[in-house]
Structure 1
Amino acid sequence: MPLTKEQALKEYFGYDSFRPQQAEIIDTVLRGEDCLVLMPTGGGKSVCYQVPALLQEGLTVVISPLIALMKDQVEALRANGIEAAYLNSSLSSSEQDSVFWKAKLGELKLLYVAPERLFSGNTMEHFKQWNVRLFAVDEAHCISSWGHDFRPEYRQLSSLKDHFPGIPVIALTATADRVTRRDILGQLGVKSAPTFVASFDRPNLSLTVLPSRKRLPQIEQFLKKHPNQPGIIYCLSRKTTETVAASLQSRDFRAECYHAGLPAAQRSRVQERFLNDDIQIIVATIAFGMGIDKSNVRWVIHYNLPPNVESFYQEIGRAGRDGAPADTVLFYGYQDIIMRQDMIMNSEQSAEQKELLQAKLNRMKQYAEADLCRRRILLSYFNEAVEKDCGNCDVCQNPRTRFDGTLLAQKALSGIARTGERVAMGMLIDILRGSRNRAVLDRGYDRLPTFGVGRDQRGDEWAEYLSQMLNSGVMDIAYDEAHSFKLNALSWQILKEGKKIELVKFIPLAERKAREEELIPKEKPKQEIIRDALFEQLRLLRKQMADALNVPPYVIFSDKTIAEMAQKRPVSEAQMLDVSGVGAEKYRRYGEAFVQEIVKFAKENTKPGTRVVKGMTYLMTHELYEKGFTLDDIAQQRGLTTSTVVAHLVKLRDEGHDIQLRPLISDRTYTEVLAAADEMNFKPGEPLAPLFELLGERIEYGMIRLALAIREGA
């Protein structure tokens, strides 16, 4: 019989249930209808077209701009027992010919293709000859000029419906506001198609914003708390990636840089090493990550402010794709705003596009400066209402202490006014703190009434408070006048009318570190230490298997699946298949090796008389059975009753182990027990005592249980 969508999900992907809206989307596609799907990165978009591909005849074509992602997804599909391939510029002519033949012969279920490849040569004509049943347009926001990553080659996809009017199109994206959504549907020629918007909430991601001063020491402290956990540091410039990577390498971290200016071979090598867990840290520009399906990225750090909320959310979404906890950190200072402003102003974009970019940057700025739950800000950006704070961002975990900062603001504004509004932050801090450096003295600023009025605040404190004032609109900044501060209407209200302004209390870096240290448990419970040790042992096994198979480790099992194994410690096929992410094909390929590793770990870490692994006692019985011991011998060696040993063997048989129960009981005893059971019309589940008495108490309970189990299993 054909598989149901639930059976396909379990057999090929190892999951027991769909995430919200996935089942409804799959049903829509199977009815031959178009649709637009919005799900956050790691939210399960690919399942929405991969499951339909398995349930219907013919080929599903997935259009994606991400060459590296195609390779990763095809490897993952093949590991799950699904025939898939890709077409892009990385293939040789012979490799492309092989893919064409497989598609023509109907041997493929999914074919990934780059948009430029789709419209080159006679590819479209080939598609018309193959049995194409579905087009999936991934990263669909790239088709819209209102999106954050517009790609002109995507505009050609508007002709898909002209060439294939009867074939449904499913468009998928992780980032699109309402304007972009409407544009996607219009560009694809499916204006009336239903739109499915899943929750953008990624509760497994922690959200933290830190001041941009002394970023490297803060990063080093962060990494020490995340040993051996893979992560990405995003930087604005190529030079910064190289500098940060070199600095981390000098501190013995396994880090490498990645940017578009590196030779293609070097970029490929770095990416492969990161995917294979050979290096821990990638320091990269946004050139890295779009094509990475690595599920075990445990953290993402933004060294600089992203240009918009969409980019930020997409990039932090590369952490914790497996659903396990992951951390995100954004460093923020007003210098980032200056750089981003300059990039917009100096770009060749139209005035309208510059205005759009500026508006998106302002929303990103509001997020970074927020004194309220950061997750609520992100979700509201994507039009998702949230009724309560998340409890997993820095604002929720450390509510800000506010104070009356009017006097500090008046000192700063007076300094700006008395210099003729010609000073930027660094010079203003020098004036307020009474610094007698050459630049101050040459301009005569040491003779101003405000010179030295802020000596009671350190330089880093003034930098923090001036940034808050700027972000709160206390003063303006002229980017075209060397970033000089300018007074505005609010400035004069504070200066002349005594209007109150609140600031957030500055916390020195050392104090913040001390607070963080207080939150870290000094010692883990023993059980948690054992679980962590098993996780590392299973992760090492995964790495060894991945290297032997020349695939990334997460293709075998995700971190979340490995963590669940370490917690549940499955020691049989049935128990292993009960772990999320372990399907029938994955168990066939890798399951037994992981079971053996768990059993080995349990034996090495189990004290006499204790049981660390649920089901371990069954495996110990199974080992003795495999060696040919009789029921009595097994019972004696294990210190168990014969009835308990029989119960073990019956359970093992029911879980799929090759247990032959019939040879364990004589023909005479077997016949006698069944005859007595028939005489009293014995039903499964009823107490055995009456049957024991009917047999004259001559046959022990273990043999009675064994005979009945043989008949029930026949």
Structure 2
Amino acid sequence: MYKDIDLLERLQHFFGFDRFKGQQEAAIKNVLGGDNTFVLMPTGGGKSLIYQLPALIMEGTAIVISPLIALMKNQVDSIRGMNAEDNVAHFLNSSLSKAAIAQVKEDVLAGKTKLLYVAPESLTKEENIEFLKQIRISFYAIDEAHCISEWGHDFRPEYRRIKPIVEEIGKSPIVALTATATAKVQHDIQKNLGILDAQVFKASFNRENLYYEVRPKVKTVNQIIRFIKQNEGKSGIIYCLSRKKVEELAENLQVNGIKALAYHAGMDANTRSTNQDKFLMEEVDVIVATIAFGMGIDKPDVRFVIHYDIPKSLEGYYQETGRAGRDGGEGKCITFYAYKDIQKLEKFMHGKPVAEQEIGKQLLLDTVSYAETAICRRIILLHYFGEKYEQENCGNCDNCLNPKEQIEAQEEIVIALKAILEVNEKYKGDHIANILIGNKTAAIKSFKHYTLESFGTGADHDERFWNAVFRQSMVAGLINKDIENYGLLKVTPEGHAYLANPVSFMLVRNHDYEEEAESEGGAPSGGSSGDPQLFSMLKDLRKRIAKRHNLPPFVIFQDPSLSDMSIQYPINIEELQNIQGVGQGKARRYGKDFVELIKQYVEDNDIERPEDLVVRTVANKSKMKVFIIQSIDRKISFEDIAESKGIEVSEVISEVEAIVNSGTKLNIDYYINDVLDEDHQEEIFDYFREAKSDSVQEALDELGEDEYSEDDIRLMRVKFFSDMGN
């Protein structure tokens, strides 16, 4: 029936995209063919399009079962934003008044609504079941399908009731979608929904644009404030384990001039909803939330996700970090890790059934393994989801960009295992560390453990080192911790085998991050716009229009669309429809103000509009200059620019000086921040404010050649000219 439809034409018409991502097209054809479909794609992989596009094409109404009211509203706003009519999508849940529910039902019965979002709780209400029996259902889409499984990280019992209710309403094809599922969870979902025959579309879990980094918890709040200030104006989410910490951290950020709000399950529904809306509407930049509470956020331009506390499982971690960079742009995932957090999580397990403790213990061990690993973080993460990452270096995580030092620790592992056995596996790690160091604590004196053979055999290392030995031996499976008995260390069969036949064991040397925490190097930068001034004006306009419509700004146009506008300069609705992510409906609905602003801007600045991509003000410059400007836009280091062109860094600086001197504004802060601290930057900048000439030598004489290099002065002079002159 739908075989002859031009899917690309429909995709362009409804959503403004000119191509499908990954397996989207194949999955959509499967849905249009009336078959059961199972979609396993990471956050940002474009899952929602797989049911949204067929719903808009097919006869009848698609029923979308979604667990979060906030997420439903988000999705409905988004679809309405792409269509000329509001009644194309509705949601049915407890937040609606009786009058609103009546209106929704009227639109659905009249055949105007293509997508109806319902919460699983609403689906079970008798009056809703009777209502849904009256309509033609194109298919059922079950979003966040991992909620069905007890092995999933977000189990919801009401999801178990979906299958019998769907059968009562009337059978239609089922589309199950999730962003995170191990093989066990996947089977559980298909079995419970009765769709073991479903065609499975599984995308790679690798999100290339996400940068992963784990930092030790050293002056964590200071590090977070510094990081946010360096990423000013960008949207971010910070996760904490406790509500108390959420409140404290949000307050801390506010005091430091950061627009941040708290969000956790203990707040009243109204405050929580208001805070979330302020985040979506870009009235605040940062939301601080509890890990336990699902944010339900479909915001594409979250630029960083920070974990103040490490999550309980890698599945949870993957889901939460996956909220960054959903538009394919920059996404920095920074996690703060201290082993005592793991101990805290272990304590929470006491009193739970043994089986649950066992699952929890295994999940925590995987998390520790991820946090402490010296190999590529992507390899560990993808392996967890049953996927093999072929490269050894992803170039986009802290371990690949700054490899940790490894040392041979075969001898130390043997010493540690012998000490555990010598005390008959009846003591915890800190006590055994004190034995090895030769530290006569009160406990060691009372048990006369200073008489042991192991006493003092590890005196050339400190307690921190031995704790790292125990943890990494645990990750390697040589020892385990008996949670039932206060965390006593036990040697596993693998550990006994190791003692009988020791082999090389590379131990990751713990960094001392006190100093290193000051630098934020490593994370790659996100996309850029062609004309920064126009891009900024378009963002302001978007914010005003969003406020007028009471919608989040990204529903109007996403950042990549504004970026494309600032390169292509469209001055009428037809041209606007050629912009990335702008379909016909969107262009007609919101485009008028945008094309008028761009037209005026083009006239005011005497801009020659490009047919393709042009870097503004350098259309007639040499290829080298164009290359450098584009590289700086992408925040590539000067060393990398120099290497790719086979020149010296000082030559790159000369080219940059020439570009800035000709009147082009360049933002090289990202590079300056890597080579000079704030105080030194300020000192040079202030010098040029008062200086009589722009001579580099005079600046060096005044400021001191032992303090600064010639390149430091030249870079700051470029910044000064660009900021003050252009």
Query: TM class by shorter-chain length?
Result: 0.7 to 0.9
The structure with more radius of gyration: 1
Separation (CA, whole Å) in 1 of partners of 2:63 and 2:522: 52
Give the match for residue 191 of structure 1.
196
Contact 2:349/2:357, CA 8 A, preserved across alignment: yes
Separation (CA, whole Å) in 1 of partners of 2:12 and 2:486: 60
Contact 1:406/1:494, CA 8 A, preserved across alignment: no
1:380 aligned to which of 380, 383, 405: 383
Helix, strand or coil at the partner of 1:27: helix
Give the match for residue 637 of structure 1.
none
Indicate the larger mover: 167-176 or 449-458. 449-458
Give the match for residue 11 of structure 1.
13
- Residues 422/105 of structure 1: CA separation in 2 closer, same or farther (3 Å cut): same
Please state how far the C-alpha of 1:210 moved relative to its aligned partner. 2.2
Please state how far the C-alpha of 1:429 moved relative to its aligned partner. 6.3
Structure 2 matches for 1:225-374, cutoff 5 A? 225-347=230-352, 349=353, 351-374=354-377
Indicate the larger mover: 3-12 or 77-86. 3-12
Amino acid at match of 2:555: V
Contact 1:11/1:583, CA 8 A, preserved across alignment: yes
Give the match for residue 483 of structure 2.
479
- Residues 441/579 of structure 1: CA separation in 2 closer, same or farther (3 Å cut): farther
Contact 2:397/2:523, CA 8 A, preserved across alignment: no
2:409 aligned to which of 398, 405, 412: 405
- Residues 212/472 of structure 1: CA separation in 2 closer, same or farther (3 Å cut): farther
Residues 296-332 of structure 1: per-residue CA shift (max 9 Å, x gap): 1111122223232322221111111111121112233
Please state how far the C-alpha of 1:425 moved relative to its aligned partner. 5.4
Separation (CA, whole Å) in 2 of partners of 1:353 and 1:443: 35
Structure 2 matches for 1:12-91, cutoff 5 A? 12-81=14-83, 83-91=88-96
Give the match for residue 109 of structure 2.
104
Helix, strand or coil at the partner of 2:19: coil
- Residues 197/484 of structure 1: CA separation in 2 closer, same or farther (3 Å cut): same
Residues 210-240 of structure 1: per-residue CA shift (max 9 Å, x gap): 2344433332332233212111111222222
Residues 47-85 of structure 1: per-residue CA shift (max 9 Å, x gap): 111111111222111111111001011111111115111
Helix, strand or coil at the partner of 2:389: coil
The answer on 1:592 being equivalent to 2:595 is no
Structure 2 matches for 1:379-458, cutoff 5 A? 379-389=382-392, 390-406=394-410, 424=428
Q: Percent identity of the aligned residues?
A: 39
- Residues 161/493 of structure 1: CA separation in 2 closer, same or farther (3 Å cut): closer
Please state how far the C-alpha of 1:490 moved relative to its aligned partner. 7.0
Please state how far the C-alpha of 1:38 moved relative to its aligned partner. 1.2
Helix, strand or coil at the partner of 2:302: coil
Residues 623-670 of structure 1: per-residue CA shift (max 9 Å, x gap): xxxxxxxxxxxxxxxxxxxxxxxxxxxxxxxxxxxxxxxxxxxxxxxx
Give the match for residue 222 of structure 2.
217
Amino acid at match of 1:386: Y
Helix, strand or coil at the partner of 2:334: strand
The TM-score, its normalising length taken from structure 2, stands at 0.74
Amino acid at match of 1:54: L
Separation (CA, whole Å) in 2 of partners of 1:494 and 1:187: 44
Contact 2:211/2:523, CA 8 A, preserved across alignment: no
Give the match for residue 684 of structure 1.
none
Give the match for residue 155 of structure 2.
150
Give the match for residue 687 of structure 2.
none
Please state how far the C-alpha of 1:132 moved relative to its aligned partner. 1.8
Separation (CA, whole Å) in 2 of partners of 1:207 and 1:367: 11
- Residues 365/511 of structure 1: CA separation in 2 closer, same or farther (3 Å cut): same
What stretches of structure 2 of length at least 5 have no aligned partner?
Answer: 615-726
- Residues 134/280 of structure 1: CA separation in 2 closer, same or farther (3 Å cut): same
Give the match for residue 547 of structure 1.
547
Separation (CA, whole Å) in 2 of partners of 1:62 and 1:416: 55
- Residues 137/498 of structure 1: CA separation in 2 closer, same or farther (3 Å cut): closer
Please state how far the C-alpha of 1:440 moved relative to its aligned partner. 8.1
Give the match for residue 633 of structure 1.
none
- Residues 19/500 of structure 1: CA separation in 2 closer, same or farther (3 Å cut): closer
Separation (CA, whole Å) in 2 of partners of 1:471 and 1:365: 7
Separation (CA, whole Å) in 2 of partners of 1:197 and 1:383: 11
Separation (CA, whole Å) in 2 of partners of 1:27 and 1:437: 70
Please state how far the C-alpha of 1:474 moved relative to its aligned partner. 5.5
Amino acid at match of 2:341: D
Separation (CA, whole Å) in 1 of partners of 2:523 and 2:304: 19
Give the match for residue 507 of structure 1.
511
Give the match for residue 639 of structure 1.
none
1:176 aligned to which of 170, 174, 181: 181
Give the match for residue 577 of structure 2.
577
Helix, strand or coil at the partner of 1:108: coil
Please state how far the C-alpha of 1:471 moved relative to its aligned partner. 3.5
Helix, strand or coil at the partner of 1:133: strand
Separation (CA, whole Å) in 1 of partners of 2:540 and 2:546: 10
| Alpha-carbon RMSD | 3.7
Amino acid at match of 1:362: L
- Residues 601/369 of structure 1: CA separation in 2 closer, same or farther (3 Å cut): farther
Contact 1:571/1:616, CA 8 A, preserved across alignment: no
- Residues 284/489 of structure 1: CA separation in 2 closer, same or farther (3 Å cut): same
Helix, strand or coil at the partner of 1:191: coil
Separation (CA, whole Å) in 1 of partners of 2:552 and 2:321: 21
Give the match for residue 672 of structure 2.
none
Amino acid at match of 1:27: K
Contact 1:256/1:282, CA 8 A, preserved across alignment: yes
What stretches of structure 1 of length at least 5 have no aligned partner?
Answer: 618-714
Separation (CA, whole Å) in 2 of partners of 1:223 and 1:590: 32
- Residues 598/370 of structure 1: CA separation in 2 closer, same or farther (3 Å cut): farther
Separation (CA, whole Å) in 2 of partners of 1:597 and 1:444: 82
Contact 2:401/2:522, CA 8 A, preserved across alignment: no
1:162 aligned to which of 167, 173, 185: 167
Helix, strand or coil at the partner of 2:126: coil
Helix, strand or coil at the partner of 1:307: coil
